Copies of this chain bind each other. A is one copy, B any other.
Amino acid sequence: MKKQVKDKRTAIMETALKLFTERGFQGTSTAQISKEAGVATGTFFNYFPTKEDLINSLYFEVKGRLSSSMEKEIESKSTFQERVRRLWSNFINWGIDNQEEFLFVGQFCSSPYITKYTREEVMKEYIFLHNLVNEGIKTGEIKDFSPELTIAMFYQSSRAVVNLILNSNLSKDKNELIENGFQIIWRGLSEN
């Protein structure tokens, strides 16, 4: 039965995501995940050969969802700056609306679990970022720095804003933080 298969697999992944962000990867046992997900420990290993396999699957899945969230309504924007701004707010709002996923990615990326291979594999989903940056450089919209530097600073800055919003409980100035953050990073990158 296809439906049940998907259900259990999804239940395991969702439960794992929650517990991982609460207790860390090695701090969460496969037994805990299985129990909370409502499946037997044997079932866990039907879907994921090892615990590490689950962690990696989760990472690819979450990064994929993030990737499509970021691209949303980008093309409909006309100017380069409007598209970058949209990218900025898309990412930050994704982080706010998907706190567990956001924290999980952060945890995974700074853990020894991530290999150079995984990092590069995920990067392939973000070619559109490179394309965007190269376009901006070519049209003279942004400064001609190394695209890796530009992307890394943009990405980490946006993560900084999400963390700021998540740690402060004032949702009042949420939009102000997003807007001010964009002003900072845009001014830094743009050719003016």
Contacts and interface: CB of A to CB of B under 8 A. Distances in A.
Number of copies of this kind of chain in the complex: 2
Interface stretch (A31-39, A60-68, A85-93, A152-160): A152-160
Interface in A147-187: 148-150, 152-153, 155-157, 159-161, 163-164, 168, 173, 177, 180-181, 183-187
A110 B145 CA distance: 29
A100 B107 CA distance: 17
A89 to B, nearest CB: 15
Give the size category of A's interface with B.
Answer: 35 or more
19 contacts: A21-B112, A24-B111, A103-B110, A143-B184, A145-B183, A146-B173, A146-B177, A146-B180, A149-B161, A149-B181, A152-B161, A153-B160, A156-B159, A157-B157, A183-B188, A184-B185, A185-B188, A187-B188, A188-B188
Interface of A: 21-27, 103, 106-107, 109-113, 143, 145-146, 148-150, 152-153, 155-157, 159-161, 163-164, 168, 173, 177, 180-181, 183-189
